[in-house]
Amino acid sequence: MNAEIEREKTKIIAEWQQRAENDLESAGIILRESDNYDIAIYHSHQAIEKLLKAILLKQGQTFKFSHDISALFLQAFKDSSQDKRFDDIAYVNSLYPRLRYPGGDQTTKDQAEKCLQITKDFFQQAKAITLLAE
């Protein structure tokens, strides 16, 4: 039974990771092919969120279903609030509220490009330190 539980856990982690990769790809496509910067940032945010949830599951942790990627990052990487990665994640997180509803501040191409690069860098770092399956 234990092996079956591990297989299911591995399957769920892989699904979170695949969905994160899909969001990363979508962010890039949207940024290249349109001026929908808010949607590109949204997909960058979603990619990071799903990647962090995959990492937490791989670590054997549970998580609240939250969109707060700063909190998820701190849960996954304890004692890392001074880490540059945290600053990057916090930047993407700070843009999330304005993506959800009309009437707020508008997002820019520069912001969308920065979010996409942060997301790509985070994916590479996660793979480099073997937090994720290849």
Residue 103 sits in a domain of what CATH number? Answer: 1.20.120.330
Residue 122 in domain: yes
- Long-range (24+ apart) CB contacts under 8 A made by 84-93 are 85/122, 85/125, 88/118, 88/121, 88/122, 89/48, 89/118, 89/122, 91/115, 91/118, 92/41, 92/44, 92/45, 92/48, 92/118, 92/119, 93/45, 93/68, 93/69
Residue 66 in domain: yes
Residue 134 in domain: no
Tens digit of each residue's pLDDT, the chain (134 residues): 588 888 998 899 999 999 999 999 999 999 999 999 999 999 999 999 999 999 999 999 999 888 999 999 999 988 665 678 899 999 999 998 777 777 767 899 999 999 999 999 999 988 776 566 55
Structure tokens belonging to residue 4? 């079956």
Residue 41 in domain: yes
Residue 104 in domain: yes
Residue 35 in domain: yes
On whether the CB atoms of residues 76 and 59 are closer than 8 A, the answer is: yes
Residue 50 in domain: yes
Residue range of the domain that includes 67: 2-128
Residue 97 in domain: yes
Structure tokens belonging to residue 14? 């892989």
